[in-house]
Amino acid sequence: MEQYKLGEMEKRFAEIIWGHSPVSTRKLVELREKEFGWKRTTTYTMLKRLCERGIFENNGGTVATVIEKDDFIYRQSQDFIDRTFQGSLPMFLTLFSKNKGLSDDEIAEIQQLIDRYKEGGR
């Protein structure tokens, strides 16, 4: 779903908002101008795109988070697994570990997650 796909600049801008939320649009303009040399209109255009996707909202010049960063990353990951691996996490892990391999620490961490899940925890 396009809602969870961000270009590089959108991602960097979203990181700023998540790090400062709630934040005034004036402050965002200052931060973007300082870091990227963006004009005010560029900042507002980018902000509008992110708000249209439902990630943030701009109420009276104050930008607030609608979808927290961790939840957004989860949704991106789920969308990727759904589109690429027909929703199969085991298929993803199989292909991922086949080429990269897993360290003993990674295997132990995955096993701990599985054990916690089996016990009803999350």
pLDDT 10s digits, 84-117: 999 998 898 888 888 778 889 988 998 998 999 8
pLDDT value, residue 72: 94
3-state class (DSSP) for residue 56: strand
CA neighbours closer than 13 Å in the CB half-sphere of residue 66: 12
pLDDT along the chain (122 residues), means of 10: 80 93 93 84 92 95 96 92 92 85 89 88 62
pLDDT value, residue 93: 86
Cβ neighbours around 51 below 10 Å, total: 16
In order of 15, 49, 91, 110, the CA distances from 103 in angstroms are 30, 40, 19, 11
pLDDT > 90 fraction of the chain, expressed in percent and rounded:
59
